[in-house]
Amino acid sequence: MKRMMTRVLMAATLCAAPLGMAQAQVQAQQAAPAQPYYTLDTKIADIFADPNARDVFGAFFRKRGEAAGQPEASPEEQANIAQVIKNFTPRQLATFPQANLDEEGLKTLGEALAKVPAPAATATPAPAAN
């Protein structure tokens, strides 16, 4: 009887250990802050690929341009600029004086981009039936 009780206790302990470890893992994940999907080190091409992130990025620079008294660029100029800067990150872009992006602006842009959720996974369309 004593042996059976010992086996039952050992089995219960072994079963409870993974649960305790799993619970600790879940608590650690909940306690750790979520890493933003978009940061100042994300390539601008990747930011432009997501309409939500592109809108945040564009609105940020429109406001900065307005505050500096700069006229809004034409769509052609915007397309040319996008082509030139797409392989840079916002942090790299800030090294160019033309970007009008100081430390405070860089911080504000980083905070705005961090609020943009990761893009939803796009479903692959089903092949057309013949």
Which residues are CB-contacts of 55 (< 8 A; sequence separation ≥ 6)?
A: none
Q: C-alpha angle with apex 68: 92 to 78, nearest 5 degrees?
A: 55
Residues 84, 21: Cα–Cα separation, whole Å: 50
Q: Mean of the per-residue pLDDT values for the chain? A: 80
Q: Write the pLDDT tens digit of every residue in 101-129.
A: 999 999 999 999 999 999 986 545 555 55
- Amino acid 9: pLDDT: 46
Residues 66, 61: Cα–Cα separation, whole Å: 8
Token pair of 93 as six digits: 């872009």
Distance of CA 87 to the CA centre of its chain: 17
The three-state secondary structure class of 105 is: helix
Residues 78, 84: Cα–Cα separation, whole Å: 10
Residue 27 has a CB neighbour count (10 Å cut-off) of 10
Q: Write the pLDDT tens digit of every residue in 19-76.
A: 555 565 556 555 555 799 999 999 999 999 999 999 999 999 999 988 888 888 899 9
* Contact call for residues 113 and 53 (beta carbons, < 8 A): yes
